[in-house]
Copies of this chain bind each other. A is one copy, B any other.
Amino acid sequence: MSSTGALGQLMQALRCLPGVGPKSAQRMAFHLLQRNRPGARQLAEALLDALDRIGHCAECRTLTEGTLCPVCANPQRDRSLLCVVETPAEVHAIDQAATGFQGVFFVLHGRLSPLDGIGPDELRLDLLERRFQSGEVKEAILATNTTVEGEATAHYIHAMARRDGIRTSRIAYGMPFGGELEYVDGTTLAHAFKGRREF
């Protein structure tokens, strides 16, 4: 049996999934065709449905089905507290964790990375600036990733917010919960010491 035709195309198509190489794709294709044809059909339909219906929230740019995402559409959320994140997955992570965060979000869909051609326009910082200038936002929590590029993006947005007189905060650096000092990198450890609090 050769890997051409519909079977080969399915194996190839499955490789668009993150972390799926040729061997996994082969295993998935055989599994679906032999043991779970209803599941395969459901997956195809869920994919097409999601592609058709899921777009970006008009306010915060996260992935959502309607014009506004459930967070932006909720009148109970505190619109004076704005959390800036890189991706919709992070909105999801923050909302699922017990952060107690009751504000709203802004999703950048990336981070500043001039070498990759990603500047303020690509991140739609103009939309963010408009929100800052509306006078609604009192504090911006900068929750971009703690990488070099995420850090640079946070600095850029901090400068922008300051021009509009908005207070900014950066999520804390330190030891991850359950982490062991021995295995944590030096920079994190240095931050953990610098940011120590009275017991």
A interface residues (Cβ-Cβ under 8 A, vs B): 1-3, 5-7, 9-10, 12-14, 16-19, 24, 26-34, 36-37, 39-54, 62-65, 69-71, 87-89, 91-92, 95, 109
- Chain B residues, CB < 8 A from A52: 6
In contact, A47 and B46 (Cβ under 8 angstroms): no
- The interface residues of chain B lying within 8 Å CB-to-CB of A31 are 17-18
Residues of chain B within 8 A (CB-CB) of A32 are 16-17, 47, 50
Q: Dominant SS at the A interface?
A: helix
Which residues of B are found within 8 Å of A12, using beta-carbon distances?
46
| Copy total for this chain | 2
Contacts of A70 in B (CB 8 A): 1-2
Nearest opposing residue in chain B for A17, CB measure: B28
Contacts of A6 in B (CB 8 A): 46, 49-50, 52-54, 65
A62 touches B28 (CB 8 A): no
Q: Which of B41, B47, B89 is the one whose CB lies under 8 Å from A40?
A: B47
